């Protein structure tokens, strides 16, 4: 796991840099996402972080819509600039749900994070998904390897929606996955993340 741990430390460092020139809301989203990185998505470690900060959990019924059918816990954060929910599933999937976000800015920050991460870690970054769903949600996902001797690799993804009426403006997910690193469906020259204009900015709900 040594290579993976080193990669995680570099990813955490990249996150700190990626927060620099963005709005308070976007910086907060990535501060939450950094918890996923620092704990490697471990549910026990994540629970300890929120318990020590005295952050109340959502009830099982309240958390269910955010867990995607899995078992786990969810913690809400109501801030002056928006509402957010942090989730930790028992299968190791860790995510930040932004009920309001500037979709293009969040996506740009995510791309910057991966660019910094790729340059520092020197591993193989493979595009797993880059698509727009029928409902207008843009999904961008990358795998990072090579796998550790134990057969684990990283997956980091973001999905955004520019529709201000959407109940979920942005979702950042993180997972340590056991298995072979999938090959990219994209040409190797396109495996690195690229900045783009993205969707028009979402307007904050009143």
For the record, the structure tokens of 131 come out as: 């698509």
pLDDT tens for 122-152 read 667 788 999 999 888 999 999 887 666 677 8
**153 lies in some domain:** yes
The total number of structural domains in the chain stands at 1
**38 lies in some domain:** yes
CA distance 136 to 133: 5
pLDDT tens for 81-105 read 889 999 999 999 999 999 988 989 9
**115 lies in some domain:** yes
**129 lies in some domain:** yes
Phi/psi at 126 (nearest 5 deg)?
A: -120, 125
Which residues span the domain enclosing 102? 2-190
**200 lies in some domain:** no
**206 lies in some domain:** no
**78 lies in some domain:** yes
**182 lies in some domain:** yes
What's the pTM? 0.79
Around 146, how many Cα atoms within 13 Å sit in the side-chain half-sphere? Answer: 2
Residue 117 is predicted with a pLDDT of 74
Q: What crossing angle do the helices spanning 2-18 and 103-121 adopt, rounded to 10°?
A: 140
């Amino acid at each position: 796991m040594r290579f993976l741990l080193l990669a995680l430390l570099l990813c955490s460092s990249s996150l700190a840099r990626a927060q620099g020139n963005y709005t308070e809301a976007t910086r907060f989203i990535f501060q939450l996402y950094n918890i996923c990185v620092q704990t490697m998505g471990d549910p026990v470690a994540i629970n300890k972080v929120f318990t020590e900060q005295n952050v109340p959990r959502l009830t099982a019924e309240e958390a269910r819509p955010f867990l995607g059918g899995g078992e786990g816990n969810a913690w809400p954060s109501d801030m002056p600039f928006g509402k957010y929910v942090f989730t930790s599933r028992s299968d190791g999937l860790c995510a930040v749900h932004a009920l309001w976000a500037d979709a293009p800015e969040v996506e740009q920050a995510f791309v910057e994070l991966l660019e910094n991460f790729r340059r520092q870690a020197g591993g193989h970054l493979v595009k797993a998904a880059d698509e727009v769903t029928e409902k207008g949600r843009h999904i961008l996902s990358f795998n990072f390897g090579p796998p550790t001797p134990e057969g684990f690799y990283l997956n980091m993804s973001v999905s955004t929606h520019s529709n201000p009426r959407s109940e979920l403006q942005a979702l950042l997910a993180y997972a340590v996955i056991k298995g072979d690193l999938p090959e990219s469906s994209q040409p190797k020259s396109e495996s690195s993340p690229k900045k783009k204009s993205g969707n028009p900015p979402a307007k904050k709900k009143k």
